[in-house]
Amino acid sequence: MVIGTNYIVAPHHVGLPAFTVSPPYRHNGIRNHEFSRNPGLTLQTVEGEGDPPGSRSRRLEITMASNSANISSDKRFLIFFDFDETIVDETSDDMVVQAAPGQHLPDWLKDTYQPGRYNEYMQRVLAYLAEQGVTESDIRSIMEKIPASPGMLTLLQFLRTRPPQDFEVVLLSDANSFFIESWLRRAGARQIFHRVFSNPATFNKDGRLVMRPFHSHDCARCPNNMCKQVVVRDYVARRTQERGRPYQRIFYVGDGANDFCPALALGPRDVVFPRRDFPMHRLITETHEAMPGDFKAVTVPWASGEEVVQRLRRLVAE
């Protein structure tokens, strides 16, 4: 496995080509194109609302240290999931716009978006929604109604019914904690996930959903608020130390360009499940063509979660 017990960040992924994946894809949300349109972007770190300087760089370490010790150490496999357009069949940030007057945002607000600063843009969107009288209940209701991706409920049920020593399940998303928790609890799926890592979001005293960046990092390929490879590397290193041994295999189920970055850290025994014809799949394909052998993990594209179930059944039986 490429991930080692020592946590090392390779900010620029030396040796990898600077891919430029051309839209359109099936989905057209801004977030899922940021990585591919700006692979060499140099990002500036901006502290979140209420964060003292430098606090974000410590948040990931503190969260993992406090949360991972109570997970059983006998899990054979570790599986990571993305949320938007992986577990659910839409982008939650796009769906929340349904709460706006006329179900669309004014042009002046959309024009404030800057590449690489999507989460700052979303904070302005959420502030605008609050000004228009959108409530916590309104947003939760929209999140709860997002449909699951094809076959995804079957996959989650498969994980739920496996022996307890089989899978440690982690959700890793650049959405936000309120959107994710709202959907998972409505779907009855929250207990499947041992950990959820996302941008923290809570309602303030004025009724506005305030979203803060998850952490800071040095990866030039990822948005400034989250590099999923940093999270994956650190989580695997910490859990390997706590367990006293590595996992038999690591799996990653995703769709977006920012799911490609963590997939680079996985090794030849690990399996990556990119959603077919989505940015993650396209980037992996381009990597294989441009630099054969540089992408280590086994790649199994999926259009339905049932395809993931079929492969997992075979692998856990080995």
Please identify every residue annotated as catalytic: 82, 84
Q: Residue 24, preceding bond cis, omega within 30 degrees?
A: yes
**Residues 6 or more apart whose Cβ sits within 8 Å of residue 278:** 25, 26, 27, 32, 85, 255, 256
**Are residues 258 and 266 in contact, defined by beta-carbon separation less than 8 angstroms?**
no
Cα gap 248→231, rounded to integer Å: 19
User: Do the bridges between strand 209-211 and strand 249-254 make them parallel or antiparallel, or are there none, so unpaired?
Assistant: unpaired
Length of the chain, in residues: 318
Q: Is the dihedral of CA 6, 3, 57, 177 positive or negative?
A: negative
**Are residues 99 and 208 in contact, defined by beta-carbon separation less than 8 angstroms?**
no
Cα gap 119→131, rounded to integer Å: 18
